[in-house]
Structure 1
């Protein structure tokens, strides 16, 4: 009887109690690449695409440091315009949550400062011949994919955005920065006319000073964003997303800039031009998150924060 129970126990460990062959086992967990499943003592644990891919990559080389560059090459193909560090942090956070792990007291996933991550503990591998090819091919069933909703944020997530080549995204982002530069330079060039307009409409003279000051201060900001995009500055996307809320306030204020042209255009046209300008800061944020990857990418939109 004990021998029979031992055989059944081994069968359950290998098959996970579900008829699925597992390629990796560690601690209380089993991983099936073919089925895209992570189980704990036979119970299925929900894990989305990117955290699952990171787990497979780390299980291939337990005890070794997996760099951020290696992870980004697996999660995003070439030509994708996303905040890599942000997405990697989020994928690791989700993976740790699924494993019941903590960054401060790691049991499975250890952070290697300024380099990447390391999988801790022994890993038993079985039937790994197809694992390498499965890293990119795996995609969870549609029912298990995360669907962004208003419960998380009223802002768009990367999963909501279309697949777009980096070149197209960069051009659109640069055009928006050029538009704002045109507003600032045009306002500074016509300060006397703007002041006269404010006097005619009985507006507070301090508003004129705000126009002049913000235009002068935001010119170098736009120059930085243009240079960062052209030269693909490291962590530029993360820096922009961190500063986005502050920039949004200024951008929404400058959405009123068509009214500075009331000496030349009708009031109705100024209102019509203002409407798309209100959306412009949100468009810039979306462009920062947009990429060409075909897989779901909800992870990129998690809270910014270092592990």
Structure 2
């Protein structure tokens, strides 16, 4: 949460120069507080584990969040019982008339397919179009980031020579941007993917800002200039053993995988991305949603039309 200070306090200028967020008392007393309404479109096979990963990050801030879990109607998950989905999830049709402060779309193990070959591609494009008018800020993870970049900006993905798997060092490229506020100059984040997007293509799009990349893993974090679309090509949400379990799965499937880089010390897993993950989500929730979204959710469409 921001620090609240008196109007015209001399320290305000110092705080501003150091990129520390603050709020005047006059502004603070006019703020109403309500739970943030966030929809999570869960495209991962192990939905329960994915729920846990995102809930850890969304629940570690001072902001109150109410989560709505979404699943696709045009594709039935083979790894999650229908009864579970019917109990805890809704489909797009059930929320089409609703508004949300934010939308998260997870990764999906379909990245080697052309986008149009994905079973739920048409439904996903409808959700992306709907989010433009019904959601204040959207957060796209891994394959979903690639899919959203393709849908909104026509940026293609390409197949990597081998799977990118491990924990990689990244550089902050836009230190003054709210989304990376408080980041170290170098930070670690996991990647697990077979495809990538060309960072130079993003740099040529006027609406996009590249915020972080890696010499080894390439593009990591980008956003639209208005903060309404955030693209993360890695998996900051991964828990301690996710990469290990994926590696064991690929070994069992005789895929001859390489060990995830910068992940094991001997036989033990080293977690070095957790602090970054919490800060990334905290910044997104605070600066791109809480400080910007209208108090009345049904006013989102009107606010966006006049922005």
TM bracket (short chain): under 0.3
Higher relative contact order (CA 8 A, sep 6+): 1
Structure with larger Rg: 1
Tell me the TM-score normalised to structure 1 length.
0.25
Structure with more of its chain in helix, by fraction: 1
Structure with more of its chain in strand, by fraction: 2
